[in-house]
Amino acid sequence: MREPEQLDLLDWLAALPPIAASAAPQLAPSPTSKGSEPSPVHLTRVDPSCNMRRFYSLALTTSLFGECGVTRQWGRLGSEGRRRTEWYLEPSEARRALEALLRAKRRRGYTT
């Protein structure tokens, strides 16, 4: 009976043909990403007389199932804060909700 042949991994790799530079994998654009989506908005409100140092962030997000949502994050500057995502059936609804939240926060004194 013959002994099984021991294959050395380095010999096996050396025997492979070289990979051409053009064969490098290319990342495909995400089907859910749209060039018109706004970037996340970061707002702050600082009032030293009240010891107030707050932040508020808004961003449009998309789930794995294609649902659109608005992710809100808020808290004291320097902390991680809290996060909440509200989901909408239509991207236009999510965009309107983001704009409404942004207007409300700017009325309350938050700045970019």
Q: Where are the domains of the chain?
A: 39-112
Strand (E) or helix (H) holding 71 = strand 68-76
Lateral strand order in the sheet of 82-88: 41-47, 52-62, 68-76, 82-88
Answer whether 0.85 is exceeded by the pTM. Answer: no
Distance separating alpha carbons of residues 83 and 105, to the nearest angstrom: 16
Whether residue 92 contacts residue 72, with contact meaning beta carbons closer than 8 Å, is answered with no
* pLDDT value of residue 13: 60
Residue pLDDT, tens place only, 23-70: 444 444 444 445 555 688 999 999 999 999 999 999 999 999 889 999
- Nearest CA to 92 out of 37, 32, 29, 21 is that of 37
CA distance 32 to 90: 13
- The token pair at 25 is 């994998």
* Contact indicator for 36, 58 with CB cutoff of 8 Å: no
Mean pLDDT (the chain) is: 80
One CATH from 3.30.420.40, 2.20.140.10, 3.40.50.300, 3.40.47.10 for 39-112: 2.20.140.10
